[in-house]
Amino acid sequence: MASVVLGVAGAAVGFAFGGVAGAQAGWMIGSTIGGVMDAPKGQHIEGQKLADLRVQVSTYGKAMPQVFGKMRVSGNVIWAAPLIQTAHTQAVQGGGKGGGGGATQTTYTYSANFAVSLVNHQIDAIYRIWADGLLIYNSAAGDTTTISVSGGTAGQAAITGSITTYLGTETQMPDALMESYIGAGSVPAYRGQAYVVFNNLQLAHFGNRLPNIEVEIVREPKNTSDFRNKIKAIHIIPGAGEACYNTTRLTKVMQNAAALFQGTGVITTITRNSNTVEPRADVLVALDQLQATCPNLQWVSLVACWFGDSTDAGLCTIKPRVDFPQAIGAIDFQENFDAATAANLNAAQTATANTTPNLYAWSVGTWTRANTPVAALVNGVPAYGGSPSDLSVIELATELKRRGLKVMFYPLIFMETPTKPWRGRIVPANATDAANWFTKPNGYNAFITHYSTLTALTSQIDAFVVGSEYVGMTSFMSAPGVFPAVTGFANLAATVRAQLPANVKTVYAADWSEYHHATGGWFNMDELFANVNLDIVGIDNYMPVTPDLDQSQITPALVQQYWAKGEGWVTIGTTRHFRDSATCQPIQSPPRLAAPPSLSTWRDSTPSRWLAIR
Amino acid sequence: MDSGKRPVNAASIIAAARGCLGTPFRHQGRVKGVGVDCAGLCVWVARELGLDHYDVDGYGRIPAGGEFGAHLDAMLEQVPAPTPGGILFMTFGGEPQHVAIYTDCDTIIHATSELGKVVEHRLDDLWRSRVFCCYKFREVA
C-alpha cells in the first residue's frame, strides 16, 4: 500500500511506504496522561504538533491509467495544501487541594486538502470512494458532484470533510479549493482527466496521514449505443449457486456457531443473496443494470444447472448439488426469508417454500439439503456453486415475466470431475449405455422432466431447452446410420412436449459441430431436428468462418466472402481456434464441407434432409 | 457623492479586495494585512473607497437570528443576481452567515476561517449553491 506519509513530530520521516501500524504509532498526538493529572495551577500545557506539515510525496512521471468498464483505481496525489492544524484548548481540572486551577490544555487535530488524479480520460461516473479501505463515499447515497464524507466506526475518530469530483469532461472548470490556495486563474482545470478533490478531510482516523484513496469509476464504451440497442436476447448465468436467482432476500443463521466462535448468546446471521449496497436481492440489481444496458432486450435464457459425475455415459449420473451440508460438525444452519420481504411472498412461492413462516429450505424436486451431494471442492473452494433451488428459478422466471421479458428455461449439466470438462465430452461406450443415460434413475430424462413438470415454472416461460451441445452423445453411431442418443433426445422431446403448456417452444441448442460426427457421417441429427416435437434448433456458433490465416490477413471483406460462400471451413484438429484439439482428429485433406456459416445458405443448399421433412 | 472621495465602481471594489488577498482571517478583524473576517473584508474595502458607514461590531462568531441579514438589507441594495463588485450572502450550516465579494470573472474574494485567510477562487457549483442573496453597494451605479 503506497500511502503518503507525512513527517512525524521531532523526527523527519521523509516519505515511507507501507507500515501503517508503525505510522500510526508514530503519530500519536496529545499530552501525556501524567502531564494532565499533575497540571499545576495556571499552567498551560501545549500538545504536540506535527513538525513538518508538508505532504512529502506524490509521484511525478507516474503513468496515467486508462480504464474500460468499471474499475477500482487508486490515484496519484497531484496537489496537497499544507495540513490544516486545528487547536483545541480546554480547561484542565486541577488536583484535589485548593480547586480552581485554571490550567488549560491545547491539543491539535489535522485535516487535509488534496487532489487525487484518477485516470487520463473522461469517465461516466464515480460510484464509491474508499480511504484506507474504508468506504467513505457511495454515490447511491447522495449527490454526484459534491458530497459529505461519512463513515467511521464507533470508538474511532469521526471522518468528516467533503469531496468534489471531476469526471474529466472537456468543459470542467478549475477547482475552487485549489484556486483559493494557488490563486484564481492559476489552476489548471485538468480537462480530460478525472480527479477528486478532498476538502478538509479529518486525518485522525487515518493515523494523521493522507489515507490511500481508491475510487470506483465507470467508463462505458462509447459509440456503441447501436450495438447495445441491438441486443435482444441474452443468457443469464452463472446457473450454479443455490440462492443466486432468489428475488427474495435470504439469510443464513448459524445456530450453534455461538458456542463455537462467538461466545454464548450470539447467533451469526449472513445474507445469502444481497451483497450490493442496495437492500435488494442481487439478481434484481443485476436485472436493472441489464435492462439499462440493453433497452431492447426481449428474451432471456435462464440457465439452471445440475451436475454430471463422469464423461462415461454408462457411469454418469446427474444430480443437483448444494453449497454446504445441513450441518458442519457442531454448526447447524437455519435459512430464513428476510423478515422484511417474507410477507410479500406470493402464493406460488409459499407453496414451494416451507410452511413455517419465514423459514426457507433449499429444495430441487425431492432433493433437499439432507439428501443432496455437496458441490465438490477444488483446491479447497467449491468448483461450482450449488444448483439453484426450485423456488429461486420460479421467482426469477416470474420476475422476468413481470418485466415483460420472454423466458427460455435452459437446464444444463456441469461436469463435476477434476478437469471440469465440457458436457459435449460425455460419450457412451455402447448403444445400451447411450439409451440408459437417458432413462436410468438419476439419468438425463429425470433431470429434464423435473423442470418440464414444475408447473409453477413452466407457466412463466416461453421456451424450454431439451438439450444442448451433447456432441459426444449424439455423434455416437451404434450401427451404420443408427444414433441412439439422437433417438433418446427425440423421445425426450416428445415427453416434454406433452408436459409443457402448448405455448412453450421446445429447443435443442446444438453445438456448431454437432450435425456431423467424427468419422465422417453427416446429418445424424435429422431425427431430432426434423422432429415434430421440437420447435427450435439453435446453434451455439463458434465456427471458424475463414481459413486459418494470420489475424492480419483476415479482413471484413474476407469474412463476408466466406460467410456467403455456403461452406464452412473444416478446421477440426487443424486450427488453433478449435476448443480442444487433443480429442479431435485431423480429417481428410483436402478439406471438405463442414458447418455452413449461413443458415439461409444451408436452407438453400440442403433442402431434402431437414426442411423438407419438417 | 462627496467630491473628496474617489469614484466607486466595480473595478475599484474588486481591486481593493484583491489587495487583501492573503490577509489572515481574524474574527471581527477590519485591517488589511493584519486580519479581517468575511464582513471585515467588505468593511475595509468600503472604508478604503471612502464609504465609512458600513460597519457593525460586537457580533458573535455564529449569526444570531438574521441580524447579519438585517444589517446587509439596511446598508446595501439587494439585486437579483451576482454583480461584479457586489456582495454575495452565503449559507453555511443552514443559516446565511458568510459574505464574499463577487468579481468580474466569476470568482469570489472572501475571508475564510477554513483556510485562515483572504482567498479568491471560482464560484463553482458548490459555492454557487450556497448563495442566499446578492447585494451591491448603493454608491455603485
pLDDT of residue A23: 30
What is the distance between the alpha carbons of residues B26 and B38, in angstroms, rounded to a whole number? 9
- Total tally of structural domains belonging to chain B: 1
Q: Is residue B45 part of a domain?
A: yes
What is the distance between the alpha carbons of residues A424 and A471, in angstroms, rounded to a whole number? 5
Average pLDDT, chain A: 74
Structure ipTM over 0.90, yes or no: no
Residue A231, all three cell numbers: 441486443
Quickly state the pLDDT bin for A327 (edges 50, 70, 90).
Answer: low
Quickly state the pLDDT bin for A338 (edges 50, 70, 90).
Answer: low
Long-range contacts from A446-452, C-beta under 8 angstroms, 24+ separation: A446/A318, A447/A306, A447/A318, A447/A411, A447/A413, A448/A411, A448/A492, A448/A496, A449/A492, A449/A495, A449/A496, A449/A499, A450/A364, A450/A365, A451/A304, A451/A393, A451/A409, A451/A411, A452/A495, A452/A496, A452/A499, A452/A500
Q: Is residue B5 part of a domain?
A: no
- Residue whose C-alpha cell reads 443448399 in the numeric block: A605
pTM: 0.56
Q: What is the mean pLDDT of residues A508-521?
A: 69
Closest approach of chain A CAs to the CA of B124, in angstroms?
A: 6
**SS3 call for A480:** coil
A179/B120 touch (CB, cutoff 8 Å), yes or no = yes
Q: Pick the residue with more confidence: A381 or B90?
A: B90
Q: Pick the residue with more confidence: A593 or A399?
A: A399
Contacts of A560 (CB under 8 A, 6+ apart): none
Q: Is residue B2 part of a domain?
A: no
Mean pLDDT comparison of A331-345, A550-564, A589-603, B36-50, highest-scoring range: B36-50
H helix intervals, A61-124: none
pLDDT of residue A24: 30
Contacts of A301 (CB under 8 A, 6+ apart): A233, A234, A235, A236, A407, A408, A409, A410, A465
Contacts of A480 (CB under 8 A, 6+ apart): none
pLDDT of residue A280: 83
What is the distance between the alpha carbons of residues A470 and A422, in angstroms, rounded to a whole number? 9
B130 Cβ under 8 Å from any chain A Cβ: no
Which CA distances in Å does A363 have to A309, A352, A397, B82? 20, 9, 17, 68
Q: How many CA atoms lie within 13 A of A8 on its CB side?
A: 12
B77-102 residue pLDDT tens = 899 999 999 999 998 877 888 999 99
A176/B114 touch (CB, cutoff 8 Å), yes or no = no
List of chain B residues whose C-beta atoms are within 8 Å of the C-beta of residue A176: 121-124, 126-127
Closest approach of chain A CAs to the CA of B134, in angstroms?
A: 20
Closest approach of chain A CAs to the CA of B114, in angstroms?
A: 8
What is the distance between the alpha carbons of residues A319 and A446, in angstroms, rounded to a whole number? 9
Q: Is residue B3 part of a domain?
A: no
How many residues can be counted in chain B?
141
pLDDT of residue A141: 58
List of chain A residues whose C-beta atoms are within 8 Å of the C-beta of residue B120: 179-180, 183-184
What is the distance between the alpha carbons of residues A461 and A401, in angstroms, rounded to a whole number? 8
A200/B114 touch (CB, cutoff 8 Å), yes or no = yes
**SS3 call for A183:** coil
pLDDT of residue A45: 62
Residue A44, all three cell numbers: 498551560
B126, B128, B129, B131: which to substitute to probe chain A, counting the most A Cβ within 10 Å? B126
A423 within 8 A of A384, measured Cβ to Cβ:
no
- Residue whose C-alpha cell reads 451404434 in the numeric block: A478
CB–CB contacts below 8 A, A to B: 46
Q: Is residue B100 part of a domain?
A: yes
What is the distance between the alpha carbons of residues A434 and A478, in angstroms, rounded to a whole number? 9
State yes or no: pLDDT of A138 exceeds 60.
yes
CATH code assigned at B49: 3.90.1720.10
Domain interval for residue B25: 10-137
What is the distance between the alpha carbons of residues A351 and A336, in angstroms, rounded to a whole number? 15
Q: Which of B103, B112, B122 sits opposite A174 (nearest CB)?
A: B122
Q: Please state at what angle helix A484-499 crosses helix A444-452, rounded to 10 degrees.
A: 20
Residue A178, all three cell numbers: 485549489
**SS3 call for A289:** helix
Q: Pick the residue with more confidence: B109 or A609?
A: B109
Closest approach of chain A CAs to the CA of B138, in angstroms?
A: 27
Quickly state the pLDDT bin for B5 (edges 50, 70, 90).
Answer: low
A557-594 residue pLDDT tens = 888 877 766 555 544 433 333 333 333 333 333 334 44
pLDDT of residue A352: 47
A515: how many CB neighbours lie within 10 A of its CB? Answer: 27
Quickly state the pLDDT bin for A33 (edges 50, 70, 90).
Answer: very low
pLDDT of residue A430: 94
H-helix or E-strand spanning residue A494: helix A484-499
List of chain A residues whose C-beta atoms are within 8 Å of the C-beta of residue B20: none
What is the distance between the alpha carbons of residues A350 and A361, in angstroms, rounded to a whole number? 11
A52-98 residue pLDDT tens = 433 434 677 777 888 888 888 888 889 998 888 888 888 776 544 54
What is the distance between the alpha carbons of residues A174 and A160, in angstroms, rounded to a whole number? 23
B97 Cβ under 8 Å from any chain A Cβ: no
Quickly state the pLDDT bin for A529 (edges 50, 70, 90).
Answer: confident
B103, B124, B128, B131: which to substitute to probe chain A, counting the most A Cβ within 10 Å? B124
Q: Is residue B1 part of a domain?
A: no
